[in-house]
Amino acid sequence: RLRPHGGDRYRSGARLERVVDRVQPVLDPPYAHAVQKVFVDLYDKGLIYRDNRMVNWDPGSRSAISDLEVEDREVTDTLYYIDYPLESGRGSVTIATVRPETMLADTALAVHPDDDRYTRLIGETAILPLVGRRLKIIADPYVKPEFGTGALKITPGHDPNDFEIGRTHGLDEVTVIGEDGLMTEAAGERFAGLKVLDARDAVVAALEAEGAIAGTEPYEHDVPHSHRSGMRIEPLISLQWFCDMEKLAEPAIRVVKEGRVRFHPENPWAGVYLSWMENIRPWCVSRQLWWGHQIPVWYCDECGEMIAAEEEPEQCPCGKGSPRRDPDVLDTWFSSALWPFATLRWPADTPELRAFYPTDVLVTARDIIFLWVARMIMMGIEFTGEIPFTDVPITSVIQAPDGRRMSKSLGTGIDPLDEIDEYGADAVRFGLIAMASTQDVRYSEKRVKQGQDLANKLWNASRLVLLKVDPDVEPAPRPETAEDRWILSRLERATERIGGRYESFELSRAALDLYDFFWGEVCDWYLELVKPRLYDEQADRTALSATLLHVLERVLKLAHPLIPFVTEEIWSFLPGERGLLAASPWPKVDPERFDEAAEGQVGSVIEAITALRRYRDEVGAPAGARIPGRILAAGYEGALDHVARLARFELEPGSDENGDVVATVAIPRGSVQVLRSDAIDTGEAERRREAEVKRLQSEIARAEGKLANSGFVSKAPEHVVEAERQKLARLKAELEELS
RNA sequence: GGGCGGUUAGCUCAGUUGGUAGAGCGCCUGCCUUACAAGCAGGAGGUCGCCCGUUCGAGCCGGGCACCGCCCACCA
Q: What's the mean pLDDT in A419-442? A: 89
Whether A237 and A52 have beta carbons less than 8 Å apart is answered as: yes
Q: On chain B, which bases lie within 7 A of the protein's CB atoms?
A: 3-6, 12-15, 19-20, 23-25, 29-36, 38-43, 55-57, 69-76
Residue A299 DSSP symbol:
E
**pLDDT score of A6:** 40
* CA–CA dist A454, A201 (Å, integer): 65
Q: What's the mean pLDDT in A344-352? A: 93
User: Does A520 score more than 90 pLDDT?
Assistant: yes
Residues 147-186 of A with CB under 7 A from strand B: 147-148, 150-153, 159-161, 164
Q: What are the tens digits of pLDDT across the range A544-588?
A: 999 999 999 999 999 999 999 999 999 999 988 888 998 899 999
What percent of chain A shows pLDDT beyond 90? 53
> Nearest nucleotide to A450 by CA–C1' distance?
B24
Residue A660: pLDDT band (50, 70, 90) is confident
End-to-end CA, chain A: 61
* CA–CA dist A269, A672 (Å, integer): 55
* CA–CA dist A321, A105 (Å, integer): 37
Task: Give the least confident one: A206-215, A231-240, A729-738.
Answer: A729-738
**pLDDT score of A367:** 84
Whether A490 and A599 have beta carbons less than 8 Å apart is answered as: yes
User: Does A734 score more than 90 pLDDT?
Assistant: no
Q: Treating both helix axes as pointing N-terminal to C-terminal, what angle do A482-503 and A596-618 enclose, rounded to 10 degrees?
A: 100
Is A49 within 7 A of strand B by CB distance?
Answer: no
> Nearest nucleotide to A77 by CA–C1' distance?
B76
**pLDDT score of A440:** 81
Whether A15 and A564 have beta carbons less than 8 Å apart is answered as: yes
Residue ranges with strand state E in A192-289: 213-226, 234-243, 262-264, 283-284, 286-287
* Neighbouring residues of A451: CB distance < 8 A, sequence distance ≥ 6: A423, A426, A427, A428, A429, A430, A431, A434, A563
* CA–CA dist A207, A209 (Å, integer): 5
Whether A372 and A336 have beta carbons less than 8 Å apart is answered as: yes
Write phi, then psi, for A193 (nearest 5 degrees): 90, -15
* CA–CA dist A462, A454 (Å, integer): 12
Q: What are the tens digits of pLDDT across the range A53-77?
A: 888 998 888 888 888 888 888 788 8
Write phi, then psi, for A703 (nearest 5 degrees): -65, -40
Residue A432: pLDDT band (50, 70, 90) is very high
Q: How far is the CA of A374 from the C1' of B16 (A)?
A: 29
Q: What's the mean pLDDT in A461-483? A: 94
Task: Give the least confident one: A386-395, A411-420, A476-485, A542-551.
Answer: A411-420
Residues 234-293 of A with CB under 7 A from strand B: 267-268, 271-272, 275-276, 279, 281
Q: What are the tens digits of pLDDT across the range A5-27?
A: 444 444 556 666 666 667 666 67
* H or E element at residue A280: none
**pLDDT score of A2:** 31
Is A722 within 7 A of strand B by CB distance?
Answer: no
Q: What are the tens digits of pLDDT across the range A173-217?
A: 999 998 888 899 998 899 999 999 899 999 999 999 999 999 998
**pLDDT score of A228:** 79
What ipTM goes with this model?
0.94
Q: What are the tens digits of pLDDT across the range A80-120?
A: 999 999 999 888 999 999 999 999 999 999 998 888 888 89
* CA–CA dist A603, A590 (Å, integer): 21
**pLDDT score of A678:** 85
Average pLDDT, chain A: 89
Q: What are the tens digits of pLDDT across the range A115-140?
A: 888 889 999 999 999 999 999 999 98
* CA–CA dist A183, A187 (Å, integer): 6
**pLDDT score of A703:** 85
Q: Is A93 exposed, middle or buried (0-12, 13-18, 19+ CB in 10 A)?
A: buried
The predicted model scores a pTM of 0.86
